[in-house]
Amino acid sequence: MPKRVIFHELKTPEEALSTVLSFVKGTEVEYVALEDSYMRVLAEDVYARVDVPPFDRATMDGFALRAEDTFGADELHPVKLRLSGLSINAGDSKLPTVEGGSAVEIATGAPLPPGANAVVPVEYTKAEGGYLTIYRSVTPMDNVMSAGSDIMMGELALRRCTLIREREVGVLAAVGVDKVPVFRRPKVAIISTGNELVKPGSPLSMGKIYDINTYTIAHGVREVGGEPFLMGIVRDDEAEMEEAIKGALGKSDIVLLSGGTSAGALDISYRVLDRFGPPGVIVHGLNVKPGKPTVVAVSREGKLIVGLPGYPSSALMIFNIIVKPILAKMQCLTLSQATVRAQVAVRVEGARGRRGLNPVSLVETENGVKAYPLPAESGAISTLAYAEGYIEIPENRDFLEEGEWVEVKLFTQQYRPANLYIMGSHDVALDSALLPILPGWVTPKVLNIGSLEGLKAAVRGEADVAGVHLVDEETGEYNEPFVRKYGEGRVKLVVGYMREQGIILPRGNPMGVRGFEDLVRLKLRVVNRNRGAGTRFLFDRLLREYAAKVGVKFEDLTKSIPGYYHEARTHTAVAAAVAQGRADAGVGIRAAAEMYGLDFIPLAWERYDFVVPVSKLSKDSVRVFVNMLKSDEFKRRLGSIPGYRVLENTGEFAD
């Protein structure tokens, strides 16, 4: 049995990066056509071989003349000059000479003719009968761009290591460069490891998952200017992994692996990587969470091999921290970490002695940007889609308090805020019937944080719209009691639609469940919804009623239910758990059961409404959202989803 590895010396990201960068070598210089130079890094200083512009030229339409002939001219005392019958246009090379007391018509960009030293704008003149009347004086070189005034011949136009984008390529074109010296793109081999991985598009059998890291890492490589080579999936086998790395080193400048880096018995990459030395492994373990099992080795040829964690969000964060700077240095590129200053929306737990890396989703509010922590589990795939970046919690902090200001390190160089923030309970109809018919200028962001947290976010003005389905245990009334309790006067309730809740069961109902009480009586394994979700409120209400009926404490009853504390954030996650045999039953909406071909026992129809802050009622995207609720198109689409129905006053504000 393979020996488990122990992380003896954990490095901070800064220590690890300092060690790793000392081994990084730059790539060779190559020449590319000017039109192919976008996002390439200049490998040599570029000096101007011509003046820019190469001649004195007019900056506007008018008349070229000698400035001194206009001195004293104004509306009351105009000056009259002889007008040449010629005109000078951009690109002309045969130019007339301007004598004293004369002027010649000239177009923007045209070369200034000999004898002239200024241009008077056409709007201050009147041409008539071979003469030009001028109503405003000019001084020498007015409305003229001098030769070399932009860039002089011999001047340094662009420095080595400059990233070439639309502005830089303009400078290169202006000085006549057609072949651009750039650093060759780093060739990056990407290998995913794990017996559980299959390629997207292949059938997904039990215990298997699709390979994600190959594609997220490849796009990350492209973003920083590298050229990815996808080497495929390697099983947890030392010989197979060693052979794959050997092949990858032969065709690349750096090799990236994901998975196989932690202390589990099957995590073997650190042993394999060390064989490619000396020096072999130079970093094994970072003092961060997630990302502790990161490993970096150097081959005997001096090429880096980086082992990233297997979980996608963890791999992506370590890629940003360690790999991006490596690829940047290979190309002489300076990376500036794009950040956004934000307030933590809720309390965030630290990593107890390690630096916590917490992915966050950003929300624009009237009081600044709020950072909503996303699931901290490094295996949470949805984090990749919803996180704009991550925050760091220092090693000596157990938590960050709600409202603390933090620097959010962005995954990309630009942050594009949404203009419609929708929080609250997950809903299939919202995703499939309403959001698709919003006009293109509305850019929604949906955060499934549960009904109660969504309502609170709306009260705080962080959510533009919050989807809620909270039932009052005493009255059975939906949503309005909670609006009165938490947001009286600060939010408005918009009537939504009805959803059918019930028990989701395996196809054929093999356990013979007839109703809610059988979930407890048969001791079925259940999957529950997250705390704060409306379905969780419904489930707990039914359990309290059952507990009172049989004379037991609610707390004792929940402890006796297998899976009660197994929480899923969405209705489809509940259905998936039942479909895959990880649970015998769960409470959710009919639509989720239908998606997975499962059985469904109805429990109740519930109202799914929307809460809007009073301060957001006039916001254009919010008004469009509310109006769409009333539209025939939405009602038609909603009616086609199993377990949904519209109300007469859908889209209207509740009294």
Q: Are residues 238 and 357 in the same domain?
A: no
Q: Are residues 131 and 276 in the same domain?
A: no
Kindly report, residue by residue over 373-391, the tens digit of the pLDDT.
Answer: 886 554 556 666 678 889 9
CATH number at residue 383: 2.40.340.10
Is residue 6 situated within a structural domain?
no
Is residue 267 situated within a structural domain?
yes
Tracing tokens 């909603």 back to the chain, one arrives at: 638
What is the number of structural domains in the chain? 5
User: In the predicted model, is pLDDT for residue 7 greater than 60?
Assistant: no
What is the residue-wise DSSP string for 626-655?
Answer: HHHHH-HHHHHHHHTSTTEEE-TTTTSBP-
Average pLDDT over residues 591-598: 93
Average pLDDT over residues 294-309: 94
CA distance 41 to 43: 6
Asked if residue 64 lies in contact with residue 106, where contact means CB atoms within 8 angstroms, the answer is: yes
Q: Are residues 460 and 573 in the same domain?
A: yes
Kindly report, residue by residue over 48-88, the tens digit of the pLDDT.
Answer: 989 899 999 999 999 999 999 999 999 999 999 999 888 99
Q: Are residues 138 and 258 in the same domain?
A: no
CA distance 489 to 211: 49
The boundaries of the domain holding residue 215 are 13-26+185-330
Domain boundary among 330, 363, 389: 330
Give me the percent of the chain exceeding a pLDDT of 70.
95
Domain boundary among 385, 415, 445: 415
- Max avg pLDDT among 93-102, 145-154, 253-262: 93-102
Is residue 397 situated within a structural domain?
yes
Q: How far is CA 486 from the centre of its chain?
A: 32
Q: Are residues 448 and 571 in the same domain?
A: yes
Asked if residue 606 lies in contact with residue 538, where contact means CB atoms within 8 angstroms, the answer is: yes
Q: Are residues 433 and 573 in the same domain?
A: yes
Is residue 251 situated within a structural domain?
yes
Contacts of 639 (CB under 8 A, 6+ apart): 645, 646
Kindly report, residue by residue over 356-374, the tens digit of the pLDDT.
Answer: 998 898 998 888 899 998 8
Is residue 545 situated within a structural domain?
yes
Q: Are residues 458 and 489 in the same domain?
A: yes
User: Which tokens hold the place of 556?
Assistant: 């004792």
Q: Are strands 57-58 and 144-145 parallel, antiparallel or unpaired?
A: antiparallel
- Give me the helices (H) in 252-395, please: 269-274, 312-318, 324-330, 382-386
Is residue 422 situated within a structural domain?
no
CATH number at residue 35: 3.90.105.10
CATH number at residue 189: 3.40.980.10
Q: Are residues 39 and 83 in the same domain?
A: no
Domain boundary among 145, 168, 198: 145
Kindly report, residue by residue over 532-575, the tens digit of the pLDDT.
Answer: 677 888 889 899 999 999 999 999 999 999 999 888 878 888 99
Is residue 86 situated within a structural domain?
yes
Closest CA to 284 of 299, 273, 276, 295: 295
pLDDT at position 488, please?
86
The H or E element containing residue 611 is strand 599-613
Q: Are residues 447 and 581 in the same domain?
A: yes
Question: pLDDT category, 29, cuts 50, 70, 90?
Answer: very high
Q: Are residues 258 and 133 in the same domain?
A: no
Q: Are residues 209 and 271 in the same domain?
A: yes
Q: Are residues 400 and 512 in the same domain?
A: no
